[in-house]
Amino acid sequence: MGKRLLSWFGIKEENETMMKKYLYEANMRSSIYMSVLVIVLEMWMIIRMTRTIIQDDLYDLFWTLTEKYYANYFLLLSAGLLMLLYAMRALYDHRKCRYLAVVVIAFCAAVCVFEVWMISKYSSASRTISDLQNYILLLCAGIGIIGFAVILLKNGEDKKWESLSVLYIFSLVCINFGIVISANSFKEGGQILTFLTMELFVICLLTWRPYVGFIVLTVSYLLFYFKIDQMIDLNTVKKFEGVIDFSTIPTGLGDGIKINGFTMWLSTLLLCISNYNKIKLQAQKDESLLKVNSYLSKISVEDELTGIHNMVYFRSEADKLMNYVTTDKENSVFLFFDIVGFKFYNEKYGFHAGNELLKNVATMIEQRFTKSLVSRFSDDHFVVLTKYDGCEGIVKDLCEKIHGLERELHLSLKCGAYRPGDDEHDPSLCCDRARFACNSIKKDYATDFRLYDKALEEEFRLKQYIVNNIDTAIEKGYIKVFYQPVVSVEDGTIVGLEALARWKDPEYGLLPPGAFIEVLEEYRQIHKLDSCIIRQVCREYRRAYDNKLPFAPVSINFSRLDFELCDIVNVLKDHAAEFSVPQNYIDVEVTESALTDKQDLLKAALVRLKELGYKVWLDDFGSGYSSLNVLKDYQFDVLKIDMKFLSDFDRNDKSRPILDNIVELSKKLGMVSLTEGVEDERQYEFLDSIGCKMAQGYLFSKPVPIDDLRERIYKGELKINDKYMK
Ligand code: C2E
Ligand code: MG
Ligand code: MG
């Protein structure tokens, strides 16, 4: 309540910055109108009076010029000129005010000379003491105004305290003028309008804080009242036998005038308060707008989580740096950092711990790369533009520090570096290359730092080519499906085929999936490829069926991103419907790593696939961290055991019992087991001995075009299960 009252009277505001600015500007603007009005009015008054005196008696002119009235008119005129000068400087270019300042100085200098002359004459003339006071007052005012005008000419910039003190002086002169002129005319039986006009003028045209308005109004009303009271000539009081006849005492301001005066006082005060509150409201509105704006501009360049700069800021600043002639490009390097293991850290310890880790890493990078451009790009990726000399040492040091932050999970910081050439100006491309160098060592445990070099350059070009040409490749039929047989361990016959993508490029030749799957996933284009494979498989089924060619159920690899980037289940459903492919001819393979994030989306999609009658296989089982969790949470038809168990077969004694156990587990969980990567008979026999149901590997066939496979079937090298013989 107290706070509100204080704010209502303008004594203490919540946020003063904007408020002060608004009050100041509003007052400076009003001051211009007011001072122009005052200047014009006073000049007119002075000219009018001078003309009357000249007509009456020219000789008396100089004496009259210094009389009280005149002194006040001159004073107000000078204050008006000064106010105009300062208000204009506050709002406009100070150079525009120079001419005005010169005019004011010239005018005041003339007044001063005149006053000095009058004072020197004073001694020889029989004038009253109050006339001398007027000369001195005007002389002082003239000198003061010249002083202010000179200060203004010297200091170009707007000084608030100067303008505000001139505003106060101007207001006081106005009110003083109102009191003096009105009191004098009241004495002569006239009205008190000038006083009221001046009050309105100063209190309502300018914006005061209500408490200031209250003080100015009350003090000036009281002064005026006492001034008039003083004027009541007590000599006119009649005495009756030595006793004062009270009935003859002049009443001074009558009750009517007092009540009117009070009403004027009150309404002026209310106007002052309402004026102030209007300005306050506007200021508050702008204040909040300003806050929102500054917040927006802050978050547009700052990373919300870590507080360091974001990608947008980095790009624009790096762009400027790359284009400055003074930048030592030869010694510049773009560094791209990636925290390997962050995803698992996040999963294991929760988002909060993950965020803390990111903040720590951001601070460490920023502290080590002082005088460099440091930013967080996205997720756990950071980019730095810095000097090449010595950067590798700093990176190594950082990597060790990050390594020290790991708990039970392995954490490491990888850094890719790119040194821009002289003619390179695009920071995005430089970041991309540094990132590419970083990605190239992500799986390499022993390497933390990799400089982008010629070898990487070739790879990078291929990657760019893939991203830019996936649509063309699909359109022109460069994407081919190779089929790799899946055999029944029991009798060695083909019971399935895995569809594996190949890119037969006119420029690069036959590209294996290793060259393009990850790139397409990184650039979120993988769904295009997978949709294309689905379509080709469905078409092949129709061709085989119509021409009575050997064929078996095909398992198609789905990327985890397919579920995000498109409605892949619908794509499958539509293509299968178009070529009338029965559900038991297509199976879906998803890798276990797909199931670790965006779980809800995936769970729903897997349930839908099952509802539609498709079988879902878990691919590469045992290659990730959370294999067993995945088995607990989802129901799969086939468990496809990763080939790493077989590749270790001879070197690692543990491989056999592990495989044995996994096969056992799959039986218990009601899944069919399939082992990938069977390359020799011994492995095959082992799988048979542990009861693994299906096998896939080079021992039977590499992935080949379907016609090649059929040829081998026709030749009898491979045998298709009777179930699928047409
Ligand atoms: P995957 O699904 O685990 O496919 C098995 C990979 O192992 C194939 O490699 C296959 O050629 C290889 N392989 C099969 N038997 C043996 C063997 O006995 N020894 C060895 N050393 N390797 C064997 P490929 O065709 O290069 O595919 C690699 C990966 O690319 C696939 O792994 C799969 O994850 C992905 N991929 C392939 N085609 C597609 C596709 O159309 N869509 C998606 N999303 N991913 C695909
Ligand atoms: Mg697969
Ligand atoms: Mg696999």
Tens of pLDDT, residues 293-322: 877 777 778 888 999 999 989 998 999 888
Give pLDDT, residue 569.
96
Judge if the beta carbon of residue 536 lies within 6 A of ligand 1: no
C-alpha to C-alpha distance for 656 and 648, rounded to whole angstroms = 9
Check if the beta carbon of residue 382 is closer than 8 Å to that of residue 375: yes
pLDDT at 235 over 50: no
Same domain, 228 and 372: no
Number of H helices, E strands in the chain: 25, 17
Give pLDDT, residue 365.
94
Judge whether 298 lies within some domain: no
Q: How far is the CA of 678 from the centre of ligand 3 (A)?
A: 12
Residue 525: pLDDT band (50, 70, 90) is very high
Measured in whole angstroms, the distance separating CA 11 from the mean position of its chain's CA atoms is 35
More confident residue, 14 or 667: 667
Closest-CA residue to 517 (of 470, 458, 485, 482): 470
Give pLDDT, residue 131.
62
pLDDT at 479 over 70: yes
pLDDT at 686 over 60: yes
Percent of the chain beyond pLDDT 90?
42
pLDDT at 578 over 70: yes
Q: Which of 112-116, 180-184, 708-712 has maximum average pLDDT?
A: 708-712
The best mutation among 557, 558, 644, 700 to test binding of ligand 1, ranked by most ligand atoms within 8 Å of the C-beta, falls on 557
Give pLDDT, residue 527.
96
pLDDT average, residue stretch 179-184? 82
Check if the beta carbon of residue 399 is closer than 8 Å to that of residue 413: yes
Judge if the beta carbon of residue 619 lies within 6 A of ligand 1: yes
Q: Find the length of the chain.
A: 726
Q: How many CA atoms lie within 13 A of 263 on its CB side?
A: 6
C-alpha to C-alpha distance for 564 and 117, rounded to whole angstroms = 95
Judge if the beta carbon of residue 481 lies within 6 A of ligand 1: no
pLDDT at 255 over 50: yes
Judge whether 445 lies within some domain: yes
Q: How far is the CA of 581 from the centre of ligand 2 (A)?
A: 21
Judge whether 94 lies within some domain: yes
More confident residue, 609 or 347: 609
Contacts of residue 520, defined as CB under 8 A and 6 or more positions apart, other chains included, come to 466, 467, 470, 526, 528, 529
Same domain, 258 and 377: no
Both structure tokens of 318: 């790096």
* Residue nearest ligand 1's atom 11 by CA: 703
Exposure string over 541-559, b if 16+ CB within 10 A, otherwise e: beebbeeeebbbbbbbbbb
pLDDT digits (tens, 9 = 90+) for 595-636: 666 567 788 899 999 999 999 999 999 887 656 777 777 889
- Mean pLDDT across the chain: 85
The range of the structural domain enclosing residue 48 comes to: 14-292
More confident residue, 369 or 128: 369
Give pLDDT, residue 237.
47
pLDDT at 42 over 70: yes
C-alpha to C-alpha distance for 627 and 258, rounded to whole angstroms = 95
Exposure string over 500-511, b if 16+ CB within 10 A, otherwise e: bbbbebeebeeb
Same domain, 156 and 56: yes
Same domain, 279 and 319: no
Judge whether 476 lies within some domain: no
Atom of ligand 1 nearest to the CA of 699: 18
Q: How far is the CA of 642 from the centre of ligand 3 (A)?
A: 6
Number of domains in the chain: 3
Residue 724: pLDDT band (50, 70, 90) is confident
The best mutation among 497, 500, 529, 588 to test binding of ligand 1, ranked by most ligand atoms within 8 Å of the C-beta, falls on 500
* Residue nearest ligand 1's atom 3 by CA: 620
Exposure string over 679-703, b if 16+ CB within 10 A, otherwise e: eeeebbebbeebebbbbbbebbbeb
Same domain, 354 and 273: no
Judge if the beta carbon of residue 512 lies within 6 A of ligand 1: yes
Q: State which amino acid sits at residue 153.
A: L
Question: Residue 666 maps to which CATH number?
Answer: 3.20.20.450
Give pLDDT, residue 556.
98
Judge whether 464 lies within some domain: no
Furthest-apart CA pair in the chain: how many Å? 157
More confident residue, 161 or 694: 694
Contacts of residue 26, defined as CB under 8 A and 6 or more positions apart, other chains included, come to 207, 279
The best mutation among 517, 532, 559, 565 to test binding of ligand 1, ranked by most ligand atoms within 8 Å of the C-beta, falls on 517
Judge if the beta carbon of residue 83 lies within 6 A of ligand 1: no
Tell which of 265, 292, 319 closes a domain. 292
Question: Residue 397 maps to which CATH number?
Answer: 3.30.70.270
Same domain, 216 and 249: yes
Same domain, 287 and 357: no
Judge if the beta carbon of residue 559 lies within 6 A of ligand 1: yes
Of the candidate ranges 44-53, 283-292, 361-370, the one whose mean pLDDT is the lowest: 44-53
Judge whether 468 lies within some domain: no
Tell which of 292, 318, 344 closes a domain. 292
Same domain, 215 and 340: no
pLDDT at 675 over 70: yes
Q: Which of 15-29, 223-237, 261-275 has maximum average pLDDT?
A: 261-275
C-alpha to C-alpha distance for 534 and 511, rounded to whole angstroms = 19
C-alpha to C-alpha distance for 577 and 575, rounded to whole angstroms = 5
Q: How far is the CA of 629 from the centre of ligand 3 (A)?
A: 18
Closest-CA residue to 479 (of 489, 492, 493, 466): 466
> Token pair 């000379």 is at which residue?
113
| Cα distances (Å, whole numbers) of residue 496 to 372, 493, 554, 696 | 57, 9, 6, 9
C-alpha to C-alpha distance for 208 and 23, rounded to whole angstroms = 8
Judge if the beta carbon of residue 683 lies within 6 A of ligand 1: no
- Pairing state between β 243-244 and 239-240: antiparallel
pLDDT digits (tens, 9 = 90+) for 422-473: 888 889 999 999 999 999 998 888 899 999 998 899 888 998 999 999 999 9
Judge whether 465 lies within some domain: no
Q: 243 in the Ramachandran plot: left (φ > 0), alpha (ψ -120 to 50) or beta? A: beta
Give pLDDT, residue 546.
94
Judge whether 473 lies within some domain: no
Task: Give 351: exposed, middle or buried? Use CB within 10 Å, 0-12, 13-18, 19+.
Answer: exposed
pLDDT at 679 over 60: yes
Tell which of 260, 292, 324 closes a domain. 292
pLDDT average, residue stretch 567-571? 95
Q: How far is the CA of 323 from the centre of ligand 1 (A)?
A: 45
Same domain, 509 and 443: no
Same domain, 279 and 326: no
* Residue nearest ligand 1's atom 22 by CA: 677
C-alpha to C-alpha distance for 589 and 572, rounded to whole angstroms = 13
C-alpha to C-alpha distance for 559 and 155, rounded to whole angstroms = 71
| Strand spans (E) along 317-461 | 332-340, 373-378, 381-387, 412-418, 449-451
Helix (H) or strand (E) holding 503: strand 494-505
Same domain, 200 and 327: no
pLDDT average, residue stretch 526-531? 97
Dihedral sign from CA coordinates of 695, 701, 705, 709? negative
Judge if the beta carbon of residue 697 lies within 6 A of ligand 1: yes
pLDDT at 717 over 90: yes
Q: Which of 85-99, 343-357, 532-546 has maximum average pLDDT?
A: 532-546
Q: Residues 546, 548, 552, 558: what is their CA dihedral angle, to the nearest 10 degrees?
A: -20
Q: State which amino acid sits at residue 427.
A: P
Check if the beta carbon of residue 311 is closer than 8 Å to that of residue 375: yes
| pTM score | 0.58
Contacts of residue 500, defined as CB under 8 A and 6 or more positions apart, other chains included, come to 481, 482, 483, 484, 513, 557, 703
Same domain, 236 and 351: no
Of the candidate ranges 309-313, 393-397, 651-655, the one whose mean pLDDT is the lowest: 651-655
